[in-house]
Structure 1
């Protein structure tokens, strides 16, 4: 359109000069155009609009449906874990073998296509960062970022702690269930141990509640939390607090960008893990792999720069600082303690007593004096419960009717500790012994897990079920045989015949505990007893008895 408008202006100027008396040849030289163009302008014609050329096919066309699929999936993804053009390009190359396309092609298409798919989202103003120079080993930045992960099949909001050295760009990350003070402290400890030292000058923070209780005035003065003051004094941390709100975000732009990079490149698509321990193991691998990155404007990798910076860090202190927080809750009549608004089970023998709890970022440890009672994975949020079925077994032996509907049983099923094998054996035991006796037999089987591995008990249950042995002793014996490596030998029953079942499973045998004990006795090498010495006594007493009768 712009080109057509300039031609209209050209034609108008040619007509104006021609009316002023300029010759055709003069117009042709003045405007550097052909004689045909001058003739058309003088004759009153107007330039025709430029024809739009037919669009040629692109090498990106076969992959556009895939890109649209990625962008459609982003509609349901967390806001900070959506695909960038670079991530889409990497996935096309790695997962679909798109070696014939280039990144600029993908970037241009994504820029035009994303607003069409996500009409409600706009492109905000780009943040401006001022380059700075940081001496090695002197400064670092710390922050939390929100992430999501499929934790044991459920989409869960988690918190990513990040500590980034300003000189080398080396960053250490840790995922926690909360962003509280325990996670704040444990993230520092983990990062310092990985780095092998502490920055000598200062670490930049925003006004996290874990460290700052109150902002005083409008600049750098803060009222710190007491435990944070003790923690940073122990590790020799000099804090630098950024300005409150968005105005101070640029003061720690390195860690802000690092969290965004880490989230986009390692948490897209959303990872699926069974536990936080598994997820943090992946995070450690990703941190190690990121040392091969080369930051913009640098010729050396992050790992090379960190190798030069690490010796300049302040050495770690030798004393240990306990990052957890102590509580002394009482055990209620449900055999539970309440910590930070969530309930955790303890063995029923502690009902009515007061215990000590050491709360960490991802777990908690319950003590009776100095003895560890139990450990639990920490719950996020409030009003949740984490119950262990083993803690209630003694009470359930006395109240077997409460077992089927117990919350601890439901949680054990969800966690995979109470398997379908348990259910099948339980149903058979109830059918053979009755509801109460069959349930008690199952509870006695569950008590075996205190002395055997869970997998061995499940295997013993399966073997006993196939053989039709519905007693806890039989399950214990089968589990012990598997633990000792005896395999599955054929042991006769009390009548000397192998016990079998025809319920559709493979034929199996089972040994009774008394028979098994007799078969495992050591060989007896003693001679058989003899009654020959007693024959003399019989003759003597027999002779005396004969005389008395004769007399």
Structure 2
């Protein structure tokens, strides 16, 4: 009952008075009050289940539709061909009924694909002091009246999300050493795992982590891991 929905929305969501609702809908105030005081939100109707002529052939039609999706456009049987095939098996219903079944079948299949294709989300969790994450970015600042490009190092604790950001003029090995040193100094210790967010190349270098990171790991015993986003 559309009018009931309109009245309840105007009163409950838009906070309009009964007088204003009556003016806008043309209904009497007593009628508006009756609708609002009624516990019924929508009238309910019992629709009896009626057997469809397609029910005995639904499994066969679903199998045909599944086979059809695996073929190229030229090889697919049209719905008219499927309707004719069902009629050869004894189906006496209309083509429209077959088309409606096909639409519903495709919609259900699409929902299943959208649900199963997302995979399982497993939230990451870290113990205190277990891991830190390191990344860097580029930004600009006005230094001495000149717009200067900066290399910004980001280091963050995975458990508490405490972070430190430091800006440098150049992206060098010394920048990485300095950023980590200051981060561990501020955090009060060195976590057992280091997660590097991205891998970048320095000018003239093959790979900064191949030359720098592996050596640091071997010396410190730190576990260095790769990642492409902040956990």
TM-score in same-fold range (> 0.5): no
Q: TM-score, normalised by structure 2?
A: 0.42
Larger Rg: 1
Q: TM-score, normalised by structure 1?
A: 0.19
RCO (CA 8 Å, sep 6+): is it higher in 1 or 2? 2
